[in-house]
Each structure stands twice: as structure tokens, then as C-alpha cells.
Amino acid sequence: MRATTIHAPGDIRWEEVPDPTIAAPTDAIVRVLVGCVCGSDLWRYRGIEAIVRPGATIGHECVGEIVEVGEQVRDFRVGDVVVVPFVHCDGTCANCLAGVQSACVNMGFTASGQGEYARVTQADGSLVRVGTAAEPPSAAVLPSLLALSDVMATGWHAAVSAGVRPGATAVVVGDGAVGLCGVIAARQLGAERVIALSRTPARRALAAEFGATDVIAERGAEAEAWIAEATDGVGADAVLECVGTTDSMATAFAVARAGATVGFVGVPAGVEDFPIRRAFGRNIGLAGGMAPVRRYLPELLGLVLDGAIDPGRVFDLTLPMAQAADGYRAMDERRAIKVLLQP
Amino acid sequence: MRATTIHAPGDIRWEEVPDPTIAAPTDAIVRVLVGCVCGSDLWRYRGIEAIVRPGATIGHECVGEIVEVGEQVRDFRVGDVVVVPFVHCDGTCANCLAGVQSACVNMGFTASGQGEYARVTQADGSLVRVGTAAEPPSAAVLPSLLALSDVMATGWHAAVSAGVRPGATAVVVGDGAVGLCGVIAARQLGAERVIALSRTPARRALAAEFGATDVIAERGAEAEAWIAEATDGVGADAVLECVGTTDSMATAFAVARAGATVGFVGVPAGVEDFPIRRAFGRNIGLAGGMAPVRRYLPELLGLVLDGAIDPGRVFDLTLPMAQAADGYRAMDERRAIKVLLQP
């Protein structure tokens, strides 16, 4: 098959690779209907995170049609159209039962979500059916279903982890697709005020459309002062940290009220100086991590199908997979929020 | 009056200092009945934390008898015997009302708890009456009341922050007075299994008497392996981090199960490398910080008076205040768990 690969920082290719095959009886192979580029893919693209094997396939989010299942797969069959969570889980281990499917003892990852085919390990535990080859989801809803494979579930995890409650004032640090989905999540969980930090016009507009009550251009100490002023000096009830750098983490802890929790979901590729003394002195907690996508999928799917949320709007550029390299460039240069790729 | 002072690392003196006076109408002055040395005092004693003003009084825990109150103090009068929380609070601000009295907007600290007299700011919000000059608490209960001013409330905060629930397996990292009180707290909150890490015979014995079901000598990777084995590879449901160093924090996160919370209360004087990637990958949260002592005091006082807990047993050396320097040495050399000082 052909798939998107990464050879070196900045070197994305669309090329022939071996077809994925059933390696374990719990696997399934899907034909990718839509895939996309993730903010976390950029860590390798930018050379911040090492590329383990040059030429490896890249991309972990997709919606696909099952073309083959292992002999132990019971709940799915060839022809099912499924949302593929970026992290796979068996649904039966102690961690899955505790709601931490992203730490499943049989955890796996989608490896070629930007390719023609992808393998899902632990198909029964991981997948959620959204149609069949005969009755596929509509093209209109497909981007939102794709968003459920990672960014919407991840933004949701940030809000849940931060303990957003009805009436709360929530701050969202990060205006990438995850942060924007975090705005959706905070509103759905009842936040009365959602303050998003963004300077980019397209992202500011989308944050507002997703329900942010305030979109501020301030950063660092200025953002802290703005939020202190807006909350009578108390700080935010809940903070969603959707970036994963020293600066974003510092801002998150600086704007949180005493006793609040920072829900963090940005892959911490660059947090060198965690604000532990601030956490201690103000009793500000940290919760979150890699999102247990499967835990939230049924609820989020319901919200998408009901039309309550439309996270697919984070895709503001659609390209054929053969032009994936252009998609990476566009995201790297912040010309696109998130790039949808079609085979 | 005479009070314990610190002039330089290792230089503790008992000397004449100005009497504390009513500086604000919400202040009270207490005659110290019992004070003590805190593990966090050792940070300055050891030179790990700077001494802001050489010759400053030191010591923030005491039980005392009120000898003077400011004109706005309504709930206490001269002669009341009170537990003095190390951190003072007004009880009325947004943070106090949210249960984070240690981040009170009018926060203050006990400054001469190892002296003859100490000043309490925000007397009404901070103090809890445990007797009067005419009917003082018994000598037998006094050490446990003193423990409520900091270490017992702090150990309790670790357990509450870690989310200890009935039936849980809890791990306590740190065998100082706070860690030992954390053992008491974890048991009181219903933990079925409490694993304490300690190598010192006296501390191991006290941990067991306080209710630890397992006291292990292993550290670091060995402790991690021991706890993994003991929990069928899952890890601990709740972890109390009662030290505040890079190593103790690493151990706490290493032994926690996915989705668990590390309740941290050790002043983070030496956490240079927070295990953020472990936290992310396993969804292990961090909660806690400086204990909101006043929040827990009524409940803990009830437990002490009922005889349900006896945290005063952490005091294994009693000295006159004039020999405070000996007390610091004994704690620094780990010859004593915690030193009680009498005027």
C-alpha cells in the first residue's frame, strides 16, 4: 500500500510500504476513509522528538472500513465503518476497567493512520461502529467522527480532568485543535465562562464559535493579570493545558485559583521546569495525561450525531494523502489548524 | 522574651528577642505551652533553603494559652488554650470558603512557635479552643494536640489529596512525622492495605503501630518492584508523597497505578525533575500542597479526644526550649523522629 512516512525532521513522504497484516487474533485491518495530521506528529516533524526509525509510517487518527479481522474479533466484521481511537485497549484489564484505557496492559497505537490501510490492535476493545460499507456515515459528519479518534476526546479529557463543573470559569491554554475541542468540552460540561488564549484570527473565531466567552490575545504575565482581573483576583476554577511546554504549564498554574486542577493533555515534549512550588503553595493539582479515548467515545458520538457538537470544524484544510507533506508544512507554519487527509 | 532563632545553617540559638505584640486588630498573642521542630525547619538548618534574616525566630507549631487579643477578635479570650495551625487564615475569603485555607488572602504564619510567646494573625479564623487556663488539656493529650497544628493535618491532607478510599491500597513515601501521620490518615480513611517505606527501626515500629500493614525497607526501583508484585502489577490506588525531593517524587509516581493520584505535602525544596512524562503516560495526577490545617482541625480534634488516633506518639524526644539546638541536631541526624519543646 501507500502511506505517509517520516524520514527525518521536515521530510514527509507518500510512498509504498508493506501492507499491514493481522499479527494477533485480536487485530483488525481497516481501509482508511479519512485520516489527519496531529499536533503531536509535529514534535517529530520539528525534530523535538526523535524519529525512532527513518521511513516509519506516521499518523494515528482515522475513520476506516474494516477489511479483515483476526479470529478472536467478535464484535466487528468486514464492512463495518469504525472510529479508530489513536490508542487501542482491550477493555478488560484493571486499567481499562478503572477508566484509564490509555494505560491498557495490552495498549497499542494506530501506526499508519495517514496511509491507505491501518492496523488496529485490540479491535473489540477499541473500535466504535459508526456505519457500514452499505450505510456509511455522511460526508458531512465524517470530519467530526474523525475528530473523535483523538482531538475531541483529548480536549474532553482535559476538561474532565480539570474538573469543569456547571457555572465554572474555565481557561483553555492552547489554541490548537485540542484546545479548541477543549472549549467545546468545557461548555458542554457546563462552564459559564470559557476564556481561550489565542492570537491567530482563524483560531480566535473558531474558539468563539465553539463557545468561548472570551478570547484573549494576552500571554504569560499579561494573561495572568487579565484573568486575575476577570475573576476578582481569585483565578480560574479549572484550567485546560493543551500544549505541553514549560511556558504553557507555567501559565496554566499561574491562572488557576487555589485548589483548582490543571487538566493537562498536551504531550509534555518540552516541560523542563514544572511549577511544583506554585502547585504546592496554592494547592493546584495536575490531572490528565494521554486521553482514554475509548472511555469517552460513546458519549461524544452521541453528541456529534445529535448535532450538539461539531468538532470536525477544526479541519480547515483538506488534502489528498499524497500531499501529506504540504499538510505538515501548513500546520507547522500555523497556516492550518488541522489537516484532513483523504486517500 | 526568649525564643529559638536561626543565624546560619546549623546555628540554632535560644536568646532574647522582642516580645510579639498585637500588630493588627485580628491578632492574638499566645503563651506557648508546647512547641516543636518541623522537618521543614531542617531545610533552613541544612542550608537547603535560604535564611532570609539571620537571627530570625523559627518554629511554626504550638499549643498555647491566649494572653492578649486584638480588638476585632470575637471568638477567643485571654485564658483560652488553643491549637495554633502553622498557617493562619481568615476563614471568610474565597479560598478559605473553597477549603484551601492555606491560600487565604490574609494568610499568615506562626513565627516564634519555639519561643515563649507567639503571635497568631487572624485569630478567629485560625484557632481552635481545646481548653482554658482553668481547665487545660491533660498532659497526656497535649502532644497529640500539638501534632494537629501541622504534621497530623498535613499527613491527613496527603491522604485526602491522594483520594484514599475504603478498601484501597495506599503507599506512604516518607517516614518522617508527616509520613507516619499519613499512615494514620490512610487507615482512618479506610485503606485496607497501607505500605510504608522505612529503614529506621523506631520509625518502622511506629508505622506498624499506626496501622501500616507492610513496612518495607526497599527504595527506588526495588520498592517499585515490591509494590508491583504486591498489587498484581497494577500499582497502588493512592500514594502519599511526604518528603519533597526528586527521588521521593519519582518513587511516588513509579508505584502509583494508572489513574491514581499522588497526594503531595512535602515542601518541594528539592524537586528538580518532576516526572511529568510518567504522569502523562499513566494518567497519574498530583494533588495537595501546603495543608489547609484549619479545614481538618475539628474532625481531627474529635478523633484525638475520642482516642481514635494518637499522633502525639511521633514525639520521641522532649527537651526544654533552651536546648532546641540539641533537638535540631537529633532530628538532622535522624536520632529523633520529632522533637517536642517545652518553655
Count how many Cα atoms sit within 13 Å of the Cα of residue A239 in the half-sphere of its side chain: 30
Average pLDDT over residues B155-166: 98
Angstrom distance (rounded) from CA A231 to CA B60: 32
| Domain-ending residue, one of B272, B288, B304 | B288
A290–B280 C-beta distance less than 8 A: yes
B residues 216-255 closer than 8 Å to A (CB): 232-234
pLDDT in the model for residue B74: 98
Residues A38-48: tens digit of each pLDDT? 998 999 999 98
Q: What is the ipTM of this complex?
A: 0.96
Is the pLDDT at B215 greater than 80? The verdict is: yes
Asked if A144 and A160 sit in the same domain, the reply is no
Q: Are residues B184 and B304 in the same domain?
A: no
Q: Would the CB atoms of B161 and A285 count as touching at under 8 Å?
A: yes
One domain, residues B26 and B74 = yes
**Contact yes or no for B94 and A283 at CB 8 A:** no
B9 in contact with A at a CB cutoff of 8 Å?
no
Q: What does pTM read for this prediction?
A: 0.96
Instruction: Check if B283 contacts A (Cβ < 8 Å).
Output: yes
Q: Determine the pLDDT at residue B208.
A: 98
Which residues in chain A (118-177) have CB-CB distances under 8 A to chain B? 161
Q: From the list A234, A268, A281, which residue is nearest B289 (CB)? A: A281
How many whole angstroms separate alpha carbon B222 and alpha carbon B200? 17
Express as a percent the part of chain A with pLDDT over 70.
Answer: 100
Q: Is the pLDDT assigned to residue B267 strictly greater than 90?
A: no
Share of chain A above pLDDT 90, in %: 95
Option in A100, A257, A261 nearest B259 (CB): A100
Q: Are residues B142 and B30 in the same domain?
A: yes
Query: Measured between alpha carbons, how far is residue B6 from residues B12, B17, B114, B323 in Å?
Result: 5, 12, 11, 13
Beta bridge partners of A236: A256
pLDDT(A243) > 80: yes
Residues B144 and B8 in one domain: yes
Binned at pLDDT 50, 70 and 90, residue B312 comes out as: very high
Residue position matching grid coordinates 487556663:
B133
Q: Residue A204 — pLDDT band, cuts 50, 70, 90?
A: very high
**Domain around A10:** 2-150+292-342
The CATH number for B192's domain is 3.40.50.720
Listed in sequence order, the DSSP H helices in A162-292 are 177-188, 201-209, 220-230, 246-255, 276-282
B261 in contact with chain A, both atoms CB, cutoff 8 A: yes
Angle of helix B177-188 relative to helix B151-161, nearest 10 degrees, comes to: 50
Are both B82 and B111 inside the same structural domain?
Answer: yes
Based on the fold, state whether residues A52 and A81 are members of the same structural domain: yes
Minimum mean pLDDT among A174-183, A267-276, B132-141: which range? A267-276
Neighbours of B296 (CB within 10 A): 23
Domain's final residue, options B288, B306, B334: B288
For B87-123, letters b (16+ CB in 10 Å) and e give bbbbbebbbbebbbbbbbebbbebbbbbbbbbbbbbb
Mean pLDDT of chain B: 97
> Is A284 an 8 Å CB contact of chain B?
yes
Whole-number Å distance between alpha carbons of B60 and A112: 59
Q: What is the pLDDT of residue A177?
A: 97
Whether the per-residue pLDDT at A120 is higher than 80: the answer is yes
Confidence of residue A31 (pLDDT cuts 50, 70, 90): very high
pLDDT at B209 over 80: yes
The CATH number that applies at residue B115 is: 3.90.180.10
pLDDT mean across residues, chain A: 97
The whole-number average pLDDT for the span A193-215 is 98
| Total number of domains constituting chain A | 2
pLDDT digits (tens, 9 = 90+) for A258-315: 999 999 998 887 777 899 999 999 999 999 999 999 999 999 999 999 999 999 999 9
Contact B280 A292 (CB under 8 A): no
Question: What does the DSSP 8-state code read for residue B137?
Answer: P
- Whether B9 and B144 map to the same domain: the answer is yes
Q: Does one domain contain both A28 and A56?
A: yes
The whole-number average pLDDT for the span A239-253 is: 95
Is B264 in the same domain as B328?
no
A274 has a chain B CB within 8 A of its CB: yes
Query: Do residues B47 and B114 share a domain?
Result: yes
Q: Does A269 touch chain B (CB under 8 A)?
A: no
Question: Touching check for A283 and chain B: CB below 8 Å?
Answer: yes
Contact with chain B for residue A25, Cβ under 8 A: no
Taking CA–CA distances from B283, the nearest residue in chain A reads A289
**Pair A267, A322 in one domain:** no
| Cβ neighbours of A103 in B, within 8 Å | 258-259, 281-283
B98 in contact with A, Cβ within 8 Å: yes
Of B342, B286, B214, B312, residue with least CA distance to A268 = B286
Average pLDDT over every residue of A173-180: 97
3-state secondary structure of B71: coil
